[in-house]
Structure 1
Amino acid sequence: MKRRRAAATLAAFLAGWMAAAPVMAAGASCQGTLYLTFDTGSQSQAELIAAVLKRQDVRATFFLANEKTVRGDYSLDPSWAPYWKARVAEGHAFGTHTFDHVYAVRDLPDGRIEVKPQFGPNAGRKQAWTAQQYCGELRRVGERFTQLTGAALDPFWRAPGGKLTPQVKAAGQACGYRHAGWAPAGFSGDELSSDAWPNDKLLQRALAGLKDGDIFMAHLGIWSRKDPWAPAVLEPLIVGLKQKGFCFATLRDHPDFRQ
């Protein structure tokens, strides 16, 4: 019963936003800029997210890793080339998220970095990498992306899980990548339990908390969340933020990443 009431409340809330959107958005001037970013994941919401961004005429930034998808393949396999080519044609930006979704564990005293890949031949095993090895892992994404699309990655990256150490950050900078985190209000919550954090609560939190210049982070699908985030939240969030006067841009236009 509680879940049904929450769903009904969310539906009513969304209906109000969507009904008002055309009138309010049409005459609104840009009162601030937000930067939507999406990390790869299960890819279960990838097509839906792309459709929403296109319908709302919003450009976003995608951070790519070669992650296992709900199709049974991996997000940087040739089977995903049409998807990424279409996003390139639409004008989105793209950064590296490490090829095997490699988590930084800690900095080691000898200058190396302890890491733990989530995918690939060393999945689940801790390893000690040099800065050069970490740089190579970042660049692997760019090499594959160019093979798939003919386009180059942008010079920014995001550490899996947001786990960043001084030596990891320095390794990224040394090979030409600026690290892109997200604002506190920009954490979408799509990784959280949908029982404790239902979609209507996440939507309200984002609408209330985001401010000019914030980077927002979500995924193209999360395995663990029972009630998917994107179908319920993404479009109402964009519409609601437009009504508040926000515009959207890729990280290419962010002051910290602008070339």
Structure 2
Amino acid sequence: MASGRWITLPAKGLGGALLALAVAVATAAEPQPCDKPLYLTFDTGHMAVAPLVAEVLARQQVRVTFFAANERTKTGDGSLGSEWAGWWRARAAEGHEFASHTWDHVYWRGDVAGDPQRFRVRPSAGPDQGRELTWSAQQYCQEIERAARRLQEITGKAPLPLFRAPGGKTSPRLLAAAQGCGFRHVGWSPAGFLGDELPDTVSNQSLLAKALRDVRSGDILLAHLGIWSRRDAWAPAVLEPLLAGLKEKGFCFRTLREHPAWRDWIAQGR
């Protein structure tokens, strides 16, 4: 609209413009060739760095997979609570993927001897935080499913049928129980441990240098949306130079939906 009047395009010109726009949009939406893929994942945490992480990912045009639990945060009612719901919705709109990290960030502590369907666990969040509990396989499945349901509720997007056990601690029995209720486990690659959980005696610059040196094609990378014990926060110092440096080395980023180990499982709607 100009000077209060609608601008009318000739039908032929309009059709050509719309066609060009459609082609441009379709081309932008198509994944580009990726010969050296990396799979960056984030687990929840105190969420103080979450806005910065989102800004960096958008600027670097990197899509990731978030594993979410309802953990204690520096502001709000938990990382999957109402205060952070808008943040998760915005990430869904950007094309990121989501999966369960258990609802109360529940650590597997051991199998119960003589009973393949029971496990010793310890939540690090929620009403049973710090308590040693014994759960059935059904209870553990419900814990995974609760976080997955909440993710779908607040994002409007179905989470992946994957989960990550807190600390990556599992057993063959636990993995079999989780797969029996529709969830496969995802850990991380040795070089993909980015070190944001390490004590402050390990500098951010050394963590950046190590990752740039050691990460290899196909690696699953792990970071967090805030670590309580580390005062020298990792994400503000490392995340953007790491992504830029890895891209300079020819790496590209994909979500776990595209990972060959789980691609078929996800496509089958498991």
- Structure 2 length as normaliser, TM-score? 0.83
Structure 1 residue 226 displacement after superposition: 1.3
What's the % identity of the aligned pairs? Answer: 57
User: Would you say the 8 A contact 2:40–2:64 is kept in 1?
Assistant: yes
Q: How does 1:1-259 map to 2 (within 5 A)?
A: 30-109=34-113, 110-111=115-116, 112-195=118-201, 197-258=202-263, 259=267
Q: Which amino acid aligns with 1:220?
A: L
Structure 1 residue 31 displacement after superposition: 4.0
Q: Bigger relative contact order, structure 1 or 2, given CA contacts below 8 A and separation 6+?
A: 1
CA RMSD of aligned residues (A): 1.3
- Shifted more, 212-221 versus 114-123: the winner is 114-123
- Rounded to whole Å, the distance in 2 between the matches of 1:125 and 1:70 is 22
1:8-40, Cα deviation, whole Å (9 max, x unpaired): xxxxxxxxxxxxxxxxxxxxx844000000000
Structure 1 residue 122 displacement after superposition: 1.3
Runs of 4+ in 1 over 2 A off after TM superposition: none
1:40-71, Cα deviation, whole Å (9 max, x unpaired): 00111101001100000000000000001111
User: Would you say the 8 A contact 2:76–2:83 is kept in 1?
Assistant: no
- Rounded to whole Å, the distance in 2 between the matches of 1:165 and 1:41 is 24
SS in 1 for 2:71: coil
- Rounded to whole Å, the distance in 1 between the matches of 2:79 and 2:140 is 20
User: Would you say the 8 A contact 1:107–1:166 is kept in 2?
Assistant: no
Higher Cα Rg: structure 1 or 2? 2
User: Would you say the 8 A contact 2:101–2:166 is kept in 1?
Assistant: yes
User: Would you say the 8 A contact 1:131–1:167 is kept in 2?
Assistant: no
- Rounded to whole Å, the distance in 1 between the matches of 2:75 and 2:190 is 32
User: Would you say the 8 A contact 1:190–1:228 is kept in 2?
Assistant: yes
- Structure 1 length as normaliser, TM-score? 0.87
SS in 2 for 1:218: strand
Structure 1 residue 73 displacement after superposition: 2.3
Unaligned 5+ segments in structure 2 are: 1-32
Unaligned 5+ segments in structure 1 are: 1-28
Q: Which residue of 1 aligns with 2:22?
A: none
Structure 1 residue 99 displacement after superposition: 0.1
